[in-house]
Structure 1
Amino acid sequence: MEFVIGFCNEENIPVYFETTDIAVASKPFYSDMWKALSFMSPNLKELQEISKKLPAEVRVNYAIKVSINGSDEFDTRDRIMNSSKDIVCKLISHIPVIMVTLGDKGLLLASRQSDDTVSLVHYPAQKIETPVSASGAGDCLCAGYVSGVLQGKSQDECVAMGLKAATSALLSHRPVPIELNVN
């Protein structure tokens, strides 16, 4: 992991770190390797595990701009945002985009802005009555999002592509659907 991140950093190649699970989530944070990441997508538990590995001196003085997209579950959303924002602000000085996955609650996307603020946007998940399998949904979310980034789409379009891909996975018997059209 250290070699790949170091190589990408030297070659100016953005690195997307998909945390996978709690055992892997904090690995880059045992050294300064994490400071070379461009994107990461932990869930809440992984984010909390990562926070235990951060050095105490990491800067946290960002102004936060909050946006809510179509969610009416204020209590849950506010609790999630409050529990995440301090950790996200510690990471955002080095990792410009952090997607905190929230399962059936959607995701929280934090991005460092050019005016030295942090944009924190909640994107609710599409309600699915009978999901077939959750296996692969997070990977498809990341794949759809990255596909949008590579196509130069806006943040909202990238997230929409990711959520569409995740929904396809939830409705499939396979972790990654045979056909995955996110456009």
Structure 2
Amino acid sequence: MLKSLFIRNSKQYLLRREKLIYLKVFQAYQCSSKPNYKTTQPIIWDEFFQRESEVADKTKEAFLQCIKLFVMSRGKRGGGQVEFINAGRNNMKAFGVHKDLDVYKELLRVFPEGDFVPENPLQRAFWHYPLHQECAIKLMDAMEANGVLPDKEIHDIMEKRFGTWVMLQKRLKGSCIGYQN
């Protein structure tokens, strides 16, 4: 009973959070044409990937360069990782990297190491950082839909970022038959 109540409440929280992020991004887009535009407002990451694809060829190197630009501009702990990874996941087919395991690894490395690891039993019992775990699960679903098998390195990356006994690790262990060698 408590678990189903928590899952229902966390889904409602996720929906409210996504609407709030959309509103903030839309407001930033509206303000970008004004002369007193503040650079601290959120960047629309879908447009960022589209601009990068117009400037350079749509290749794996261009996509990895977008990831490198994000990490350099925001840093590992600067925030905005969920929005960036979702935008990257949505634009993978446009760049033709949706079947490349290395790109998925680089997208997962955007999350900072150790910040999302649950530290006490209460955090382990419930979803610790649900938006970030949901984003990683969606990325794993995209891997599964595109026929990309995770390897041991993906397991290690997720373990360093999210810990051992979280829903994400259970999903990773249950979704794949075996690791790719």
State the TM-score, normalized to the length of structure 1: 0.28
Q: Which has the higher contact order (CA 8 A, sep 6+)?
A: 2
Greater fraction helix: 2
Higher CA-based Rg: 2
More strand by share: 1
